[in-house]
C-alpha cells in the first residue's frame, strides 16, 4: 500500500487515474497503451468505467529493452473515490485506488496492489517481489502527484 497527498481536487485525481491511457505519464515502464473496449456508458466513469479494457507493454526488467504484454480492466468504479482494476501479464494482479478529500482542500490517494505469484517460491523471492511491487506503486503515486500538481499551477 502506498499513499500520497495531492494539492488538487479529489475528483481530478480520481478522473486522471480512471483513464488508464494516462499510465505512461506516471509510469515510465508502460508504453503503447490502447483502450480495446469501452466501459458501461451509464455507469460511474462512463466509457472509462467498469468493463473498460486496455492493453499495454510493461518493461521487462529481466530483458533490457523488451516489454511484456499486459491487459488491464476496470473492475469497480465509484465516483469520485474508487478505481479498482484487474491485470494479467507476467502475473495476475488486482489494485484499488482510493481517493479521500482532505479538510482544507486537496486529497489523499491510497494505492493497494495484490499480485498472484506461483506456489512454492522461496521466501526471499516473495520478499523481493513485495518490495518491488511497493516501489512500483509508490513511484506511480509520486509521479502522478507531480503531473497533476504541475498542471494545476
> What pTM was estimated for this model as a whole?
0.93
Yes or no: say if 72 and 60 are a contact pair by the CB < 8 Å rule: no
* pLDDT tens, the chain, 153 aa long: 999 999 999 999 999 999 999 999 999 999 999 999 999 999 999 999 999 999 999 987 777 778 899 999 999 999 999 999 999 998 899 999 999 999 999 999 999 999 999 899 999 999 998 998 999 999 999 999 999 999 988
User: Residue 80: which CATH number?
Assistant: 3.30.530.20
- Distance in angstroms (rounded) separating the CA atoms of residues 18 and 96: 11
pLDDT for position 85: 97
pLDDT for position 95: 97
**Domain interval for residue 50:** 2-152
Q: Count structural domains, the chain.
A: 1
Contacts 24+ apart (CB under 8 A), 21-29: 21/54, 23/54, 23/56, 25/143, 25/144, 25/147, 26/140, 26/143, 26/144, 26/146, 26/147, 27/136, 27/139, 27/140, 27/143, 28/59, 28/143, 29/58, 29/59, 29/136
CA dist 115 → 106, 109, 148 (Å) = 30, 20, 27
pLDDT for position 64: 77
pLDDT for position 66: 80
pLDDT for position 102: 97
Give the residue among 132, 146, 142 at the shortest CA–CA distance from 59: 132
Residue 42, phi-psi category: left (phi > 0), alpha (psi -120 to 50), beta (remainder): alpha
- Distance in angstroms (rounded) separating the CA atoms of residues 107 and 12: 10
Amino acid at each position: 500500500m502506498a499513499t500520497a497527498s495531492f494539492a488538487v481536487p479529489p475528483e481530478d485525481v480520481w478522473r486522471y487515474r480512471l483513464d488508464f491511457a494516462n499510465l505512461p505519464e506516471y509510469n515510465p515502464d508502460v508504453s503503447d497503451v490502447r483502450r480495446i473496449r469501452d466501459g458501461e456508458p451509464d455507469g460511474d466513469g462512463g466509457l472509462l468505467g467498469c468493463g473498460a479494457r486496455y492493453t499495454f507493454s510493461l518493461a521487462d526488467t529481466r530483458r533490457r529493452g523488451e516489454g511484456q504484454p499486459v491487459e488491464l480492466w476496470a473492475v469497480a468504479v465509484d465516483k469520485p473515490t474508487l478505481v479498482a482494476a484487474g491485470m494479467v501479464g507476467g502475473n495476475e494482479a488486482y489494485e484499488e485506488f482510493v481517493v479521500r478529500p482532505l479538510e482544507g482542500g486537496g486529497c489523499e490517494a491510497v494505492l493497494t496492489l495484490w499480485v498472484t505469484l506461483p506456489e512454492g517460491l522461496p521466501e526471499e523471492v516473495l520478499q523481493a517481489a513485495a518490495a518491488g511491487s511497493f516501489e512500483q506503486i509508490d513511484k506511480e503515486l509520486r509521479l502522478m502527484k507531480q503531473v497533476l500538481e504541475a498542471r494545476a499551477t
